Structures are given as C-alpha cells and as structure tokens.
Structure 1
C-alpha cells in the first residue's frame, strides 16, 4: 500500500511550463504575413494586371461558337432563269471520344447500317473510329441529302451528329457546265464563273457564341452575328439559245463524228455573250463525271490557226490602204497553183482568171489574198489584226482564257507574208475570233466581250472604217450564195441574210503538221442590220469530209437560225440582196 502511494506521488509532480520564446513567435508571424501578402499580390496580379490568360482558359472550356453557313449567291441568265443555286444539306460527323464513352462499337448492326447509308466500307468505318478514339471531331460524309440525314438521325448512335451545310446545284446540268464551272466541298468556286466571281458569290457566315456548362447545356448567350448571303450574279447568257447551241454541238460530235464541237454567240451591239457551249460536256452535279478531257472550256482555252477566216480582214486592209477596191481584178492562175519562192500555194476551188476581191472571198482563194498581201507592207495586215483583237484577251474575264500566238518579228519572207494572209503563222482561240467578227458586225466598233448582263452599252472604240466594213460584210454574204458558188452555202439561214467565212487548218504538231484538222465557220447576221456574231469550231472531224464549209457551216445555220427566231429578229431576206458596192449598205 505504501508502494502504491509513493508511485502516485511521483506522477503527480507538476512539470515546469516551457518558457515563451518571443523571437520564434515573431519569425512565425512574419512568415505568415509574408505568405498572406504574397497571396494578395498574386491575386491582384492575376485579377488586375493580367486577367486575360485565365479568362481565355476559362472561355476555352465554356464558350462555344457555332457557324451558321450563308447561302451562296444565285447565278441566273439574262432572263432570270436560275443556272446555279444553293440547297440546304447536312454533314455527318463523329465524336469518337463520346462514342467510346457510351459503349463504343458494341452494337455492330447499327454501325453497319450507318456505313451502308453513307456508302462507306463497314470495316473501314469501324477501324477509323477505333484508331481515332481520342479525337472529338471527324467528318464521315459531307453534303448528304435530307433523306440520308434523317435516316442517320433515327439511328440514334451516340457520338454521331449532323451539321448544316449547303450544296451547289445546277439545274441546267451539262448544258452550261463549262461556262458556270463548279464549287468544291467547302463551297468555293473551282472553275468557270464560280471561280472568277467567287468573292462576289460567297457570303459571310453567321456566328453565335454561347457559354455552356460541363454537361453541354447553354447557360448564357454571349453574342450573335447575322449571316450575310452571297450576292446574286446575272449573266448575259440566254439559256434558250444556250440549250439550242449545246444540242447542236452534241449532235455534231456524234454525227460528223468529231472529237469536240465548240460554239459561241455574241450580241454585236453590246458585246454580250449569249451562248458558250462545248461538247462533250460533263454533269457538274455528279462529281464522278468530272473527267479532265470533258471539263475544258475549249472556247477560251484551245488555240488554232484560223485559216481562211482571216481573209475578210486582209481584203479590208487592202481596201483601206488603196491597194484594191471592189472593182479591182486579180489574176488567178487556172492551174490553181502559185509559186512564192520555193513554195507553192494552192487553191481548193477554181476561180476565174480575173476575179474581184468579192469573188476571192466567195471562193476562199489563197492565191488571191496572197497577191493582196504581197502588194502591201506586212505591217498593214498586222495592224488590222491587232485592231480586231488577235493579240489580246477578249475582255470576257473568265479564269483560264488564253490568247494564242501573235507573230512578232522584224524580218518576213514572202512565204510568211503569204501564209499570214490565209491564217497560218498565228493562232487564236474561238473567243478571239468571235471578238473580231463582233467588231466587224458592229461596223468597226470594238467593245470587250462580256459574260455579264450589261446595264448600259459600252461605247467602244472605232477601230475600222465603217464604210469599208459594210462593203466587206456584203462580200462575205456572197459566201452563203449557193447559186454563186459560195463555199459556205450550207450556213445560209432561210429568211435571213447571213455573212460567213469558213476555214480549215491542219493541227500543228512538233516539227510541222499532223493529219488532223480544225474546221470552223464564223459569221454575222442579219447583214442588213447585224445583231449576232457566231463561231463554230469542229475539232478533229473524222471521215473524208472535213472542210469547214461541210462540217461546221450546217451547225452554224441550225444554231443561228434558232437564235434569231428566239430573239424575234425580223427576217431581212426580202430586202435587196445585192447592193451596188459603190453606194455601200
């Protein structure tokens, strides 16, 4: 008992309290205050001096911007008929991260159904989603039809969504494909009018910015910018004439047959293009039909030696400089051969021993225009060629237009001067040749050609003497006179006075000329009061008949006759057919 009491007394001994150390307390307080002021300083720095970065990071987690695509501008013809419109479609996209968050690809049948409706390989689709499971957005299909989009929506697959888009649709199909061009998957023009005027046709998409919570719910509307639709574009094309021209070109390719046929028509009073077609063509609504050889707009891209179609300008030049007039007689060898240096120039048709310049044009005499060319400086002819636009673009302002080759040399041999007079030694595009005859039909007033409907007529520049031009127009009218032996009589249009010039030229190849031909006919109508100019080019006509007067002239007659009737141009065949050239028109 004593032992217990002794132990208890020892444990109950009061321990001495530890002494208070003031400097330690002071150090601790200082560190606490430093930390507190550091936090305040850091908070002030973040909140006041540099708030942008954190705000940006916060917004990146919560702000979402939704684009609202705008419609591309409508393209229409001169009468308001729609040639290109934008239709609403949708894109199908996948969020692989969301897909694998909600069960992945376990329901294989539904995923196979998705692949089937989107015309995708089943194995490829599953593999694509599996390998990109950490991605949050991938496109599966673009510009799908409303019916397909509705089917995808009904599948109710997790992570699969729809996005609004627009798709370009061309009601005229292959008829105006080369002229209009087409757009890419992103809605921007890739060719033709669509590319040339892409900035005008493309609108500004709208933007809606919202704040979302962690569950994707919209909690705040931040801002909204309204969409600005693209501006409409009205072309100078008359779709009625365009359709007639394309049908004739397509029939020509099959009936002649030929590699291609190109046709362009202009209004000589304004320079507006009323039709521009090529056959074969392609369907711009079908991406699988876009083959390179079909897609080239040959009217503005293909160059050729113009052959006899330049002879009216040689005759004009000779008359302009007093080398010849409408009564001048030119001696033509009856052998149909004429030697120039070491070369021999040949006429296809027999011409009288003494022929007027009108007869030379009517029979397309190479010898006749050669003698005119050799009788004057070559600069006279080159100057006329320049004035009618053989050395420059037509002014049509379409992507892809070329300008051919215009000779530029200081020394000319006699044979070079001779061939220059009947269309060899230079090259043109069909649109350049049409531009020249548009100037001829406007009595020598040169205007740039236009693919847009003009609000007012461009005054133009008087580059040719109108009195002489009127005489030349009467001369080329005789080319369609069958009784008089005109080489282009197949281009005649019943009820109308038509002036044309046919041409045929071998295709140039490396080192010379091959066995293929360009055949063409170009003309103006009606001669009493010119309204239309037209060019028809047949590329590589097959068979024994290949001259322009045989293969291109009938096409011109068919198209020109329909165009004159569509435009309600009054017939003028009852007017005086032959006018004394001394009196003019």
Structure 2
C-alpha cells in the first residue's frame, strides 16, 4: 500500500468516526430532550390516549363539631359499597414485578374479593352469573354495602376491572335537636347548608386524595411500581362553647313553657359572665338535623342569635348598674314611685300592675321590675353618663358572634 492510499483510508475512517459521533451526540441530545426537558409534555400526551393512567379517589372526612367538653355534636363517617359489572367478570391479563405477563383467572379474583368483603369466592362468582342469567346486558349488581376504608383500599389493590367501588359519606348528629339550631346541617355529599356547618365550613371541609398508577397501552394492565398516592386531607374540629347537658335541660324547659303559654316560639340564652362564652342558645320550635326536611324552614335557624326583639326590662339592670357604679345610689337607696306617673319631659310611664306610691329601694325596684321607679333611678346620673354606660355594655354594637 502506498502512502497516498494509506492517507485516504485514515481520512475515510476519521470522517466515518466523526459522523458516528455526531449521530450518537444527536441521539443523546434527543433522548435528554424527551426524558428530561420535555418529559411532562410527553407524559401529558401519553395520558391523554387510551387508559394509560388509572386511579381511584381517597375521600377526605369532614371535620367534627364538638361542645365545650368535647362531646360530639356532628361527625362524618365514610363507608363504601361494592358492586360487580357482570359483563367484565372474566380472566384478567397481568404483569408481574419483572414485567412478564400472566393471566389471573376470574375465579381467583373472586376469591380475593370474597376474602376482603367476607363472602366465599364461589358466591362472588354466583352473584355475577345470576345477574347475567337474569339480564344478559347487566352491567351492575350490588355485592356488599357498608365496607370500611381499610376494605376499600384492599379492594383497590386487587385491581379488578369488574369491581365497582362507591364511597358513601354520612353526616350524623348524635344529640338530635339539642344544639341543632346552632350546629346546622348539611345536604348531599356533606354540602353545608345552615348554622356553623355553613359559617365555619373553611374549618370543617375536607379535601379528597387520589391513588394513580400507569397502565399498559395495549392490555390496560396496571404496571407494577407506578402507583403514587396523594393523601386525603380531613377537615378540622370545630370546638363550640356550648354545654350540651345544659342545652338539653333548657330545651325541655323551654318546650314545656312554650306549650303551656300557647306561644308561637321561645328562646333562652345563657352566657358565662366571666368569659363571655355562650353556654346555651336554645330555640323552640327547633329541628332534628338528621332529618331537617321534616321541619318548617322558619324553625331551622338560630332565632336566639338572629331574631330582633325589644330589650325591654334588661335595660333596668343596666340602669341600676350605671347608678351603683357611679356611686349615685346604693342598693338600699329609697325611691318613691306610683304605678303610673307623668314625667316633666312629657313621658308617661306605668308599671305592669297598678299600685299606690311605694317606698322602693333600688333592690326592691329591680325585684318588682318597676318601670316608674327605675326611670327615676336613672335620673340620678346625667344623660351623657347613661349614654356612655350603654356603649360600654355594647348597646348599639353588632355582636361578635357572626351568625348570619
């Protein structure tokens, strides 16, 4: 071989090597672009075709409402119903952990389902067979109701295409009408409709989670090792200041009194004077939140907190407190008052019963709830002082209890 030929061979070899290197680099760049740079785009495209991605919902649980001692006023349970699609009750192609295919028989799948729900495998098969016998086009037949979350997850792991799983959320109010006017109620799927169920929904509401996994494009078989889980977020617990036992007692007493007086309705509210906490806010008529539709809409709310009414004799206690706090009188200070009097400013004031002039003390005027005597006691301090004290008592201000 002469020198010229040798140089030609080396040149061609070098050119070929360079071309091969360019091709390899191009493949590497393209692979990097597919698997790293544009991986999300390609994954989205793949998921949009066929059943590449499968999954199931993990229902979150709505938070509980409890009283001041932690006694449950409202809670949610989640149970699951299992059904079979008889048209899909047949053998299933699977992939093992090594990616090799195999067939799991319908009989074996039925046994696995039966082990979870407490039914013999042959009975599971019979449910599907009977459904088809009765209706060749059947696609749904109930198998088992009221399954737990643990059973639900075990059934998901079986990955049986003929198995239909349906979550059922149930909101319950164990104390019935006690505190119901405050607690409120929910509708279908835990939708808040009234009371603190609605007002504090941001605290109580839950967020569902999800289990996702990849399926093969050809047979729709779950690919081992591809399962991911987004946990469900349960709702928070709402702790009210209500005393359930006190509320129960007051509700019985109020019901009796409303019926005795042949009244349209009644309300009782009890507050802790040291903390300002509402320990009871009871209305009658009221509702059972387990069956709110059985109660007239006008009686489903908390009238004790939403209804406007004249404060009436409650102002007498405020008047007496103002005068005593200012030192303008003592509990034994005497005030003369008749059953009806005309005041210098033109106002006419009368008591609930006619009587001659009495020598009231401040204490006695409160006991008799004398309008005339308390009006005179109020005059012992300037008008501006009374106004200032009314403001301090919160008169004219909106309650911090934001109840509708």
TM norm structure 1: 0.46
Deviation, 1:345, is 1.7
Residue 46 of structure 2 is matched in structure 1 by 58
Residue 16 of structure 2 is matched in structure 1 by none
Q: In structure 1, which of residues 270, 274, 279 is the aligned counterpart of residue 279 of structure 2?
A: 274
Deviation, 1:341, is 4.5
Summarize the alignment of residues 132-171 of structure 1 with structure 2, pairs less than 5 Å apart.
146=146, 161-171=164-174
Deviation, 1:212, is 2.5
Deviation, 1:321, is 3.3
Q: In structure 1, which of residues 52, 77, 93 is the aligned counterpart of residue 67 of structure 2?
A: 77
Q: Deviations over 1:58-106 (max 9, x none)?
A: 113312342201222233333333221212245899x9xx9xxxxxxx9
* Cα distance between partner residues in 2 of 1:372 and 1:91: 71
Partner secondary structure for residue 61 of structure 2? coil
Deviation, 1:307, is 0.8
* Preserved contact between residue 81 and residue 146 of structure 2 (Cα < 8 Å): no
Deviation, 1:233, is 3.5
Moved more, 325-334 or 251-260: 325-334
Deviation, 1:311, is 0.4
Summarize the alignment of residues 23-38 of structure 1 with structure 2, pairs less than 5 Å apart.
none
Partner secondary structure for residue 265 of structure 1? strand
* Cα distance between partner residues in 2 of 1:332 and 1:390: 27
* Preserved contact between residue 267 and residue 282 of structure 2 (Cα < 8 Å): yes
Summarize the alignment of residues 389-404 of structure 1 with structure 2, pairs less than 5 Å apart.
389-395=394-400, 397-400=401-404
* Cα distance between partner residues in 1 of 2:332 and 2:287: 51
Residue 244 of structure 2 is matched in structure 1 by 239
Q: In structure 2, which of residues 368, 374, 386 is the aligned counterpart of residue 369 of structure 1?
A: 374
Residue 558 of structure 1 is matched in structure 2 by none
Residue 252 of structure 1 is matched in structure 2 by 257
- Count residues in correspondence: 313
* Preserved contact between residue 192 and residue 398 of structure 1 (Cα < 8 Å): no
Deviation, 1:374, is 4.0
Partner secondary structure for residue 178 of structure 2? helix
Q: In structure 2, which of residues 277, 293, 317 is the aligned counterpart of residue 312 of structure 1?
A: 317
* Cα distance between partner residues in 1 of 2:82 and 2:292: 19
Deviation, 1:172, is 0.7
Residue 492 of structure 1 is matched in structure 2 by none
* Cα distance between partner residues in 2 of 1:264 and 1:366: 24
Summarize the alignment of residues 101-500 of structure 1 with structure 2, pairs less than 5 Å apart.
107=135, 146=146, 161-213=164-216, 216-220=220-224, 221-289=226-294, 291-333=296-338, 336-339=340-343, 341-349=345-353, 350=355, 352-395=357-400, 397-400=401-404
Which of structures 1 and 2 has the larger relative contact order (alpha carbons within 8 angstroms, sep 6+)?
2
Structure 2 spans left out of the alignment, 5+ residues: 1-22, 89-133, 148-160
Deviation, 1:216, is 4.6
RMSD value, Cα? 3.9
* Cα distance between partner residues in 2 of 1:169 and 1:216: 40
Q: Deviations over 1:441-477 (max 9, x none)?
A: xxxxxxxxxxxxxxxxxxxxxxxxxxxxxxxxxxxxx
Structure 1 spans left out of the alignment, 5+ residues: 1-36, 99-105, 118-143, 148-157, 401-585
